[in-house]
Amino acid sequence: MIAALFPGQGSQKPGMGQDLFDNFTEAKSTFDRISKAISIDVAKLCFETDEDTLRETENAQLALYTCGVAAWSVFRGNYSASDITAAAGHSVGEYAALAAAEVLNIEDGARLVQLRGHLMGVSGRQNAGTMSAIIGMDRDVLEQVCAETEGIVVLANDNSVGQLVISGEVAAVSRAGELAKERGAKRVIPLNVSGAFHSPLVKEAALELGKALRNVQYGIPKLKVYANVTSEPVDETSQWAELLEVQLSSPVRWTESVQHIRRDGVTTFVECGVGEVLSGLVRRIDKEAISSQVKDKDSLEATMARLTGKTGA
């Protein structure tokens, strides 16, 4: 069985999605639908924006959502087998996963992502905060470090074994990083982000986003979607409004999500969108899992060859 994965902020890069756009009508149609829904030329945003501008939260999230859904549409246009059973997305990637599963329609997903990015950008400017990656430390030890640190600092992402992210007030994140080193962390890497995402500092943004989330219609899922907040598949679609609201200020439980997807019988993960970040995390979490990507024509062909058994790969 196969699960589709959708990356989050940090995977964006100039030119993202252009190869799919130029070669597949499914991708171009997705770009066009999203552009019309939010009154922004997302092709221009993805293809022509410089790295610094694309890194801005408002732009990165829209670009990632668009490329994720476009890559999914191309993948499904070329692979019609029924063994795709699950989906998951990292942070904003969860919206693309929900669009892939038809829990959200593409246009509603785009409008929500646009609002999410705007609210997070505003929050980052109003509430100074930051994030740091902590390499080589167990989750329970890092959570204890955060608890002992003065100020607001929390575990934000559990990405894989030994790869965690903390988020919060600038001074508190700095102090927690120093303490983490003292407790045995191999590396502490400050992240170039515009806010303390997945922390209490974005709680107001989450509440505002929640109002919009409750005005959207959620469809019956065509795939099991594993929620960042719980790391489990969501059976009742009515739960998604609350889950997506809480997700903004809660940890992304990615390690457990991948473990639970594997527990439920998935052997192969296909990362849709841009880059190979999630594929790398999957390999760290479970060395027996198979990872593949759909990010351009070449990667699609390689993935199709692997899935259809037409190569020894």
Residues annotated as catalytic are: 91, 198
Q: How open is the CA angle 54-191-179, to the nearest 5 degrees?
A: 170
CA distance 45 to 39: 12
Residue 141 φ/ψ, nearest 5 degrees: -70, -40
Handedness of CA 285, 266, 107, 79 (dihedral sign): positive
User: Is-contact 277 11, C-beta < 8 A?
Assistant: yes
Residue 185 C-beta-side C-alpha neighbours within 13 Å: 24
DSSP states along 149-200: SSSSEEEEEEEETTEEEEEE-HHHHHHHHHHHHHTT-SEEEE---SS-TTSG
- Side chain identity, residue 39: S
For 216, the token pair is 């959207």
CA distance 53 to 57: 9
> Which DSSP symbol is given to 248?
T
Give the residues across from 6 on adjacent strands.
Answer: 89
